[in-house]
Amino acid sequence: MLTLLGVAVVVVGFAVRLNPLLVVVMAAFVTGWAAGLTPVEVLAAFGKAFNENRFVSAAYLVLPVIGVVERAGLQERARTLIGRFRGVSVGPLLVVYLLFRQLTSALGLTSIAGQTQSIRPIVAPMAEGAAEARGVTLDAATRQDVRAMAAATDNVGLFFGEDIFIAIGSILLMVGFLATAGITIDPIHLSLWAIPTAVVAFVIHAARLMLFDRALRRRAAA
Amino acid sequence: MIKLGVVYLLAGLVFAAFAVLSAGDRANPKRFGNALFWGLVGLSFLAGDRLGDIGNGVLVLGLALIAGTGQLGRGQPATTSPDERKALAARFGERLFIPALTLPVVVAFGVLVLKPLQLPDGPLLDPKQATLISLALAAVIATAVGVILLRQPLTSPLQEGRRLADTVGWAALLPQMLAALGAVFALAGVGQVIGDLVTTWIPMDARLTAVAVYCLGMAGFTMIMGNAFAAFPVMTAGVGLPILVGQFGGDPAVVASIGMLSGFCGTLMTPLAANFNLVPAALLELPNRYAVIRAQIPTALPLLIANMVLMYVLAFR
C-alpha cells in the first residue's frame, strides 16, 4: 500500500498547483523510498528513463518554423481568411477539423497535424475569427473557451482516429501483450473494433461543438 | 540508416541556441534561469548518452529546481508588433500558409515514401523512428521555406522558436518527466498494487459489472498513470483476460480494443497526460492551466459510458 504514496503526491501536488516538475520529482523519490530504493538508486532510474524518453521532447523542433510564420502574420491571416467565409462559424469549422484529424490519424498520419503545428498557428485563430465574424465579442473568458475547445478537438480527433491504423503504438502494444498471454490476434481485428468508438466519439464531440457554437452566439445576442 | 541520433543532435543544437540567446536577453529579468534551463535541455540531447544514469538524474533535478523555484522568466526577443503583423498578413496573403502546410506534406512524404525505402545496407530511415525523423526533416525544410518565401531574418527561426519555447516554459519538459516517473512507478510495482486492489475488492460475478470495472479501471488508472499504455497490461491481466475473456467468453479483440479506447477517455481528463492537456494550454496562453481538460470532460464521460455499452454488446455476441 505504501507504494501508492507517490501517486498521492502527484494527485495532491497537481491539485494544489505546485510546480508540476517538482511534483514529479518528489513523487519519484517518495515512490522509490516506499519501494525500498535508496535516493541514489531513484536518481539513477529516473535519469535513465528521462534520457530514454528524449524523443518525447524532440517534437519541439517545429517551434522555430511556427514562430517564423507567426512573425510574418499567419495568425492574423488565418483570422481574416475565415471571416471572409460568412457561412462558417466556430462549430462547423471545428467539426470539419475533427473529421480531418480522425480520418488522417486512421491512415497513420498522426503527425501531420497537432497542437503546435496546427492549433496554435491556424485552427485556434480561425476559430476566433469565425466567432468574431458572427458578432461574438472575445472577452478573456470567451477567448479561453474557444481556444480550449480547438485544442480539445485536436486531441479527440487524434485519440479516436489513430487506433484504426494497424501499425500504431497502442495496437502493437495490445498484440504483443495478448501474444504473451497466449492469444494470437491479427492487428486488423483490433483496428476494426476501434471503429464503433471512433464513430461515437465523432457524434458526441461534433454535437458538443454545435451546442458550443449556439451558446457562443446566444452570448453574443444577449 | 538515419537514426534518432541525428534528430537529437539537431534538437540539442536548437535548444543550446535558445540558451545562448536567452542569456543575452536583457529584457528578461530572469534571463540566466532561462539560459540554464534550455542549456540543460540542450545538454541532455547532445550528451545524454554520455552523462550516465546519475548524471542524467542530476540534470533532471536541476531542471525541476530551476522551474520549481520560479527562476524561469519569459524572453522578449525582438519580434513584429500586432500592427506590423496585420500589414504583413495583408501583403503575403495565402502565401503565409505555405510553410505551415510544408510540415504535413513532408511528414506524409517521409512516412509514406521514405520509410519503405531500402538502401543496399538496409532501410534509409530507422523504421521504429521514421515518423519522428520525418517530423524533424519537415521542420528543417519548412523553416527554410518560411525564411526564404517570407523574407524573414536568418536569426528569426531561433529567436521566434525561443519566444514560443518560453511561452510553453516548464510545461515543455513535463511530458518527458512524466514518462520517467512512469518508469519509477513500474520499478516500484505501483501498477500491480492498483490492479490487485481492483480485483480483490470488487466482486465481478456479473458480466455487466465486470465490463464496467474493466472500462472504468482503464480510464481511472490511465488518469493516475498519465497514459493508457501503462494501464492496459495491468487491467487486462487483472480483469480483461481472466474474467471478461476467460470467465464470460468475451472476444479478446473487442475487449482489448475498446478497453484501450476507454483508457483514452481517461487521457482526456488528466493533467498527467501533459503533452495533450497542459502543453496546449500553455501554448495557447490560457490563464487556466486546466482549461483544455475542462473542455474535454463532457466528451470523455459520455464516450466512456458508450464504450461500456459497446463492449457489453459487441464482445459477447
- Give the residue, A108 or B309, on which the prediction is more confident: B309
Residue whose grid cell is 524573414: B152
A178 in reach of chain B (CB within 8 A): yes
pLDDT-based confidence at B191, cuts 50/70/90? confident
Q: How far is A214 from chain B (nearest CA, A)?
A: 16
Least confident of A193-197, B198-202, B257-261: B198-202
pLDDT-based confidence at B10, cuts 50/70/90? very high
Q: What is the pLDDT of residue B27?
A: 92
Q: How far is B26 from chain A (nearest CA, A)?
A: 20
Cβ contact, residue pair A68, B280, below 8 Å: no
Query: CA-to-CA distance for B222 and B232, rounded, in angstroms?
Result: 8
Cβ contact, residue pair A50, B176, below 8 Å: yes
> Is a pLDDT exceeding 90 seen at residue B188?
no
With respect to residue A111, please indicate whether it lies within any of the assigned structural domains: yes
Mean pLDDT of B167-189: 89
User: Which range, A31-35, A215-219, B15-19, has the best average confidence (pLDDT)?
Assistant: B15-19
Q: To 5 degrees, how large is the angle CA B260–CA B266–CA B269?
A: 155
Q: Residues of A numbered 92-131 whose beta carbons fall under 8 angstroms of chain B's beta carbons: which are they?
A: 108-113, 115-122, 124
> Is a pLDDT exceeding 80 seen at residue A1?
no
CB pairs under 8 A between A and B: 431
Nearest residue on chain A to B158, judged by CA atoms? Answer: A64
pLDDT-based confidence at A215, cuts 50/70/90? very high
pLDDT-based confidence at A210, cuts 50/70/90? very high
With respect to residue B177, please indicate whether it lies within any of the assigned structural domains: no
- Give the residue, B204 or B152, on which the prediction is more confident: B152
Q: How far is A58 from chain B (nearest CA, A)?
A: 6
Query: CA-to-CA distance for B269 and B219, rounded, in angstroms?
Result: 9
Cβ contact, residue pair A73, B86, below 8 Å: yes
Domain end: B112, B138, B169, which one?
B169
Determine the structural domain holding residue A25 and report its residue range.
2-52
Q: For residue A183, which amino acid is it?
A: I
pLDDT in tens, B120-173: 888 898 888 888 899 999 999 999 999 999 999 999 999 999 999 999 999 999
With respect to residue A61, please indicate whether it lies within any of the assigned structural domains: no
pLDDT-based confidence at A94, cuts 50/70/90? very high
What does pLDDT average to over chain B? Answer: 92
* Rg of chain A on CA atoms, in Å: 22
Q: What is the pLDDT of residue A74?
A: 93
ipTM score: 0.91
Query: CA-to-CA distance for B206 and B244, rounded, in angstroms?
Result: 10
Nearest residue on chain B to A155, judged by CA atoms? Answer: B276
- Exposed, middle or buried by CB within 10 Å (0-12, 13-18, 19+), for B148? exposed
Cβ contact, residue pair A196, B63, below 8 Å: no
Same domain, A87 and A40: no
Least confident of A23-27, A83-87, B111-115, B145-149: A83-87
In B, which residues are within 8 Å of A44 by CB distance?
53-54, 57
Same domain, B204 and B281: yes
Mean pLDDT of B32-38: 97
Task: Mutate one of A159, A171, A208, A210 to test the B interface: name it (highest B CB count within 10 A).
Answer: A159
pLDDT in tens, B74-108: 998 989 999 999 999 999 999 999 998 899 899 88
Residue whose grid cell is 528513463: A49
Buried b (16+ CB within 10 A) or exposed e, B116-144: eeeeeeeebbbeebbbbbbbbbbbebbbe
With respect to residue B138, please indicate whether it lies within any of the assigned structural domains: yes
What are the residues whose beta carbons fall under 8 Å from the beta carbon of A21, sequence distance 6 or more? Answer: B63, B64, B67, B68, B170, B173, B174, B177
Task: Mutate one of B149, B269, B279, B292 to test the A interface: name it (highest A CB count within 10 A).
Answer: B292
Split into its structural domains, chain B has a count of 2
pLDDT in tens, B48-78: 999 999 999 999 999 999 999 999 999 989 8
A195 in reach of chain B (CB within 8 A): no
Same domain, B86 and B224: no
Cβ contact, residue pair A163, B261, below 8 Å: yes
pLDDT-based confidence at A14, cuts 50/70/90? confident
In A, which residues are within 8 Å of B166 by CB distance?
none
Same domain, B51 and B121: yes
Same domain, B211 and B150: no
Q: What is the pLDDT of residue A187?
A: 87
Beta strands in chain A (DSSP E): none
With respect to residue B286, please indicate whether it lies within any of the assigned structural domains: yes
What are the residues whose beta carbons fall under 8 Å from the beta carbon of B270, sequence distance 6 or more? Answer: B222, B223, B224, B226, B277, B293
Q: What is the pLDDT of residue B238?
A: 86
With respect to residue A69, please indicate whether it lies within any of the assigned structural domains: no
Prediction pTM value: 0.89
- From the list A34, A69, A115, the residue facing B280 with the nearest CB is A115
Split into its structural domains, chain A has a count of 2
Buried b (16+ CB within 10 A) or exposed e, A43-54: bbbbbbbbbbbb
pLDDT-based confidence at A68, cuts 50/70/90? very high
Residue whose grid cell is 457562443: A216
Least confident of A26-35, A53-62, B200-209: B200-209
Q: What is the pLDDT of residue A208?
A: 98
- From the list B107, B261, B303, the residue facing A111 with the nearest CB is B107
Same domain, B37 and B67: yes
Mean pLDDT of A87-107: 93
A144 in reach of chain B (CB within 8 A): yes
With respect to residue A63, please indicate whether it lies within any of the assigned structural domains: no
Q: Terminus-to-terminus CA distance in chain A, angstroms?
A: 54
Same domain, A81 and A172: yes
The CA distances from residue B67 to B41, B76, B171, in Å, are 13, 18, 9
Query: CA-to-CA distance for B255 and B251, rounded, in angstroms?
Result: 6
With respect to residue B181, please indicate whether it lies within any of the assigned structural domains: no
Query: A206: which 3 cell numbers?
Result: 461534433
In B, which residues are within 8 Å of A110 by CB distance?
131
- Residue B198: what are its φ and ψ, rounded to 5°? -60, -50
Same domain, B193 and B164: no
Cβ contact, residue pair B64, A57, below 8 Å: no
With respect to residue B178, please indicate whether it lies within any of the assigned structural domains: no
Determine the structural domain holding residue B283 and report its residue range.
189-314
Which residues does residue B123 pair with via DSSP β-bridges, in sequence order? B118
The alpha helices in B93-173, defined as continuous H runs, are: 97-109, 130-149, 156-168
Least confident of A79-88, A108-117, A173-182, B221-230: A79-88
Cβ contact, residue pair B264, A160, below 8 Å: yes
- From the list A1, A51, A151, the residue facing B292 with the nearest CB is A151
With respect to residue A70, please indicate whether it lies within any of the assigned structural domains: no
- How does DSSP assign B13-39, residue by residue? HHHHHHHHHHHT-TT-TTHHHHHHHHH
Mean pLDDT of B185-190: 85
> Residues B183, A1: contact at Cβ < 8 Å?
no
**Long-range contacts made by residues A128-131, C-beta under 8 angstroms, separation at least 24?**
A128/A79, A129/A78, A129/A79, A129/A80, A129/A81, A129/A82, A129/A83, A130/A82, A130/A83, A130/A88, A130/A89, A130/A90, A130/A93, A131/A89, A131/A90, A131/A216
Same domain, B76 and B211: no
Q: What is the pLDDT of residue B296?
A: 98
Cβ contact, residue pair B183, A45, below 8 Å: yes
A20 in reach of chain B (CB within 8 A): yes
pLDDT-based confidence at A119, cuts 50/70/90? very high
Same domain, A92 and A144: yes
